[in-house]
Structure 1
Amino acid sequence: MNETVNPPKNITLVGAELSSKLNEKNINALHSDTDFEQKLRNRKLDYSKSYDISREEVQRALNKNKDLKLIIDIHRDTIPKEESTVKIDGKNYVKVVLYVSKANKTYFAQSLNLAKTLNDELEKMNPGLSRGVILKDSPNTYNQDIFPELALISVGGPENTLEEEYRTIEKIAEVIQKVTNE
């Protein structure tokens, strides 16, 4: 998802960095740089329709790539820096939170298991990096109903730097490597 809570630090760059780090670890990763905000404007839709638009992208990716094993949907949180930052080994990292939709009746158990697995590994390897798993009581499935291994992750906040976000992305890539190798 291409959120621009803070336009100079577009969250798309964070997704591109994750893709790059995974490819470095010999995990074939694809990245979408689709500008969802522009698509919303072009269709004269408000932000509440973001997942309708991104659903099209996820479906296209699934149709083109039958071997996909994991989809990561990255967003930027809206919390202030003092809540979105943690110091690990003397360096600032951004905290992450994983969301699971209760409205996802198709793959709820798988989505929850994936979120808990990623969260537990993040915390085991880097205590304090995750703010946990949050179950969302909303009618929105966040597209988790169209693929069993889709993780929705918020990374940092609008006041965090790309450097802080990239440090965290490296940790997420390490966790994904560990989880996918098990």
Structure 2
Amino acid sequence: MNQSTIFGVMLRVFITLSLGTLTMFLMLSIGSYTQSKMVTSPIVSMQGLGTSVSSQFFVDMMAVEIPQMKSGLNSTTFSQKNVLNFLFRYVTSINPNDPKSLLASEVPGLALEKVVLLRGGSDKDDIVEPLDLPPTHFDFKANNDNNPQKIDPIIETQPQEDEQTIESGSSDDELNVGEDEQKSGFSEKQSDKVAANGNPLVFIYHSHNRESWLPESGQVYDGETNVTALGKRLEKSLKNLGIVAVSSDRDYEESVEGYNWNFSYKYSLKTVEEAFAVNPTFNYFIDIHRDSQGREVTTINIDGVNYAKFYFIIGASNPNWRANEAFATKIHDAMETQYPGISRGIWSKSSTDGNGEYNQSFSPNSIVIEVGGVENTIEESNRTIDLLAKVLSDVVWEAEKVDTGVGG
């Protein structure tokens, strides 16, 4: 075989390999573009999909290039079948190993994942799912086996528009100034007062306004001592930093006729809509809750001082969830940079494990923040609120000139 023949063979092999590589990258690019256009839920995004694949799969993937990572004791999970399954799920959001996934996007209740971690905190060994339990009172000293916290979490649904009627805000709502004012609970008089000090930018509210703490009230839900105090604290802290904020302490259990816990987010959406109608300059909507996990999960010690941990919830039913997650990520990253371990991450919930939307389609800057848990104190939670206020004010100052399309 002469040199020209050998050169021709090598050239054909080179061209074939080059075309094969180019084709593979083109297929991956097309798949990524298609997936980005088709996926409307964080649970079936690359982030959500990555959390559903075992960590060993990624270790084995790296071991292909790093021989030292291979183990002779375990069989590899990085096989052609697993890779094809992974790529197929990535592009189609269908799990080949479970036919139910074919119908999951069309039939309510068939979704496989409920709570998905989109972005974890710096403490990778402390990943505990959010726990949202219904209103229940119990003895702080009761035996754990009889503790009502052990009951199944309630599933909050989005009712039809004609299922409930929302009355005006409670008389205790600081945004109300009397029965003769607007039914919305946001009077023109109050609006003028706020606007006179600068454009109100941040609206703080509480879909579960009675969430409380055992060390403070002796019960997990209370009409007097509850998370509305955190909203007021955040409002005050933001104002001290030059950001005009307004918080609502509306008590839905008192102000809504025929109150039903399952419709909490419908009630709070009405509050958000009323607030925005009075002050269209509102750009950021913060719904503050507290988690139902115990103290060992929800507390961190920083320089000898206890703080309540926090996390974000992103609604999987919101088709524009990426914008809300981007907003949450700015706060999460800044907090984790300054106070590593204080954030429990950004989680996504589908309608199978919660409301699924959380009013977040109203604005790309609408988020749910869960601060602390049932066994934290107000003091610990307030410390975290003050840190959040500083970071949130920085984010607002940086982004305020951007058109966010609120309510659109």
Flag whether TM exceeds 0.5 (same fold). yes
**Deviations 1:68-94 (Å, cap 9, x if unpaired)?**
121110001101011110001110000
58 and 153 in structure 1: CA distance in 2 versus 1, 3 angstrom threshold: same
Letter in 2 for 1:180: V
Structure 2 residue 338 is matched with structure 1 residue 125: yes
Q: Could you tell me how far apart the structure 2 residues matched to 1:23 and 1:84 are? A: 27
- Deviation string 1:99-128 (CA, Å, 9 cap, x unpaired) is 0001011x3121111111111111111111
- Name the SS for the 1:87 alignment partner: strand
Asked if structure 2 preserves the Cα contact closer than 8 Å seen for 1:9 and 1:162, the reply is no
Root-mean-square deviation (CA, aligned residues, Å) is: 1.3
Note the residue ranges of structure 2 that are not aligned, 5 or more in a row: 1-205, 213-219, 399-408
Q: CA deviation at 1:4?
A: 2.6
Match of 1:33 in 2: 249
**2:296 counterpart residue number:** 82
- What is the CA-CA distance between 1:46 and the residue it aligns to? 2.3
Secondary structure in 1 matching 2:246: coil
User: So what's the TM-score if we normalise by structure 2?
Assistant: 0.43
Q: Output the CA distance in 2 between the equivalents of 1:37 and 1:78.
A: 20
- Residues 52, 158 of structure 1: alpha-carbon distance in 2 compared, 3 angstrom cutoff: same
Structure 1 position 4 matched with structure 2 position 217? no
Partner of 2:84: none
Higher mean displacement: 2-11 or 133-142: 2-11
Shift of 1:160: 0.7
- CA distance 1:140–1:38, change in 2 (3 Å): farther
Shift of 1:36: 2.2
Structure 2 CA distance, aligned partners of 1:89 and 1:64? 43
Determine if the alignment matches structure 1 residue 48 to structure 2 residue 262: yes
- In the alignment, the residues of structure 2 paired with residue 36 and residue 119 of structure 1 have an alpha-carbon distance, to the nearest angstrom, of 30
Q: In the alignment, which residue of structure 2 is the partner of 1:70? A: 284
Map Cα deviations across residues 132-176 of structure 1 (whole Å, 9 max, x no partner).
000111253100011121111001011111100110001000110
State the 1:51 CA deviation: 0.2
Q: Is the 8 A contact 1:19 1:31 kept in 2?
A: yes
Q: Does structure 2 conserve the Cα–Cα contact (< 8 Å) formed by 1:3 and 1:76?
A: no
- Counterpart CA distance in 1 for 2:318 and 2:272 is 16
Indicate the residue corresponding to 1:103 in structure 2: 317
Structure number with larger C-alpha Rg: 2
Q: How many residues align?
A: 179
Greater relative CO (CA pairs within 8 A, separation 6+): 1
Give the secondary-structure state (helix, strand or coil) at the position aligned to 2:286: strand
Q: For residues 62 and 147 of structure 1, what CA distance do their matches in structure 2 show?
A: 11
Per-residue deviation, 1:37? 2.8
Matched, 1:21 2:237: yes
Query: Partner amino acid for 1:118?
Result: I
* Code of the aligned partner of 1:98: F
What is the aligned-residue identity percentage? Answer: 35
Partner of 2:363: 147
Contact 2:210–2:225 at 8 Å: present in 1 too?
no
Greater shift, 139-148 or 18-27, is seen at: 139-148
SS in 1 for 2:340: coil
Q: Distance in 1 between matches of 2:389 and 2:368?
A: 15
Question: After TM superposition, what 4+ stretches of structure 1 lie above 4 angstroms from structure 2?
Answer: none
For 1:102 and 1:4, how far apart are their aligned partners in 2?
Answer: 23
**2:285 aligned partner, one-letter code:** I
Structure 2 contact 211–289 (Cα < 8 Å) conserved: no
Change in CA separation of 1:84 and 1:9 when aligned onto 2, cut-off 3 Å: farther
Q: Which amino acid aligns with 2:228?
A: T
Whether 2:392 is the aligned partner of 1:176: answer yes
Unaligned 5+ runs, structure 1: none
**Aligned residue type for 2:305:** K
SS at match of 2:386: helix
Q: 1:44 Cα deviation (Å)?
A: 2.0
CA drift of 1:43 comes to 2.3
Question: What is the SS of the residue equivalent to 2:390?
Answer: helix
Kindly indicate whether the alpha-carbon contact (under 8 Å) linking 1:76 and 1:156 is maintained by their aligned counterparts in 2: yes
Tell me if 1:116 matches 2:332: no
Equivalent-residue separation in structure 1 for 2:325 and 2:393 (angstroms): 19
CA apart distance, 1:32? 0.5
Conserved 8 A contact 1:104-1:144: yes
